[in-house]
């Protein structure tokens, strides 16, 4: 489901991708509706870069993102599969294996996609 990013969301996006000067999707010109897909698809150069960016998040922000994913407010459906695995591994290490398993389950079943026609 499309959402407007809050100030906290934009701060997290800025932490994950400091090169973002305008929260508009380069491909569509509309605002980002999620935090992680743009990092995965537009800003991370490779898997190591994506992981490095995720590792920079404070535990509170990683927990917040995990909660958004589980609530269906943060889309991970259009992320690179390998980045979802790296994210889940980091969540398992820092939050809980149960949370990580739930996120992988959402991704695997496609429930995490929301309305991908409207999201980036």
pLDDT in tens, 58-114: 999 999 999 999 999 999 998 999 999 999 999 999 999 999 999 999 999 885 544
**Which of 46, 55, 33, 22 is closest to 113 using CA atoms?**
33
pLDDT in tens, 9-59: 999 999 999 988 766 555 555 567 899 999 998 899 999 999 999 999 999
State the Cα–Cα distance between residues 71 and 44, nearest whole angstrom: 25
In a domain? residue 38: yes
In a domain? residue 103: yes
> Residue 108 sits in which domain range?
7-113
In a domain? residue 71: yes
Count up the domains in the chain and report the number.
Answer: 1
Q: For 5, list phi and psi in degrees, rounded to 5.
A: -70, 135
Task: Please tell me the number of Cα atoms within 13 Å of 17 on its side-chain side.
Answer: 23
pLDDT at 119: 40
In a domain? residue 91: yes
In a domain? residue 119: no
In a domain? residue 118: no
């Amino acid at each position: 489901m499309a959402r407007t990013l809050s100030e906290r969301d934009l701060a997290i996006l800025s932490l994950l991708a400091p090169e973002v000067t305008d929260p508009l999707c380069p491909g569509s010109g509309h605002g980002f509706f999620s935090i992680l897909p743009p990092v995965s698809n537009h800003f991370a150069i490779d898997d190591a870069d994506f992981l490095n960016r995720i590792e920079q998040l404070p535990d509170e922000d990683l927990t917040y993102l995990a909660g958004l994913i589980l609530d269906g407010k943060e889309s991970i459906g259009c992320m690179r599969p390998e980045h979802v695995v790296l994210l889940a591994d980091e969540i398992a290490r820092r939050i809980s294996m149960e949370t990580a398993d739930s996120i992988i389950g959402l991704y695997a079943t496609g429930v995490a996609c929301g309305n991908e026609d409207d999201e980036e």
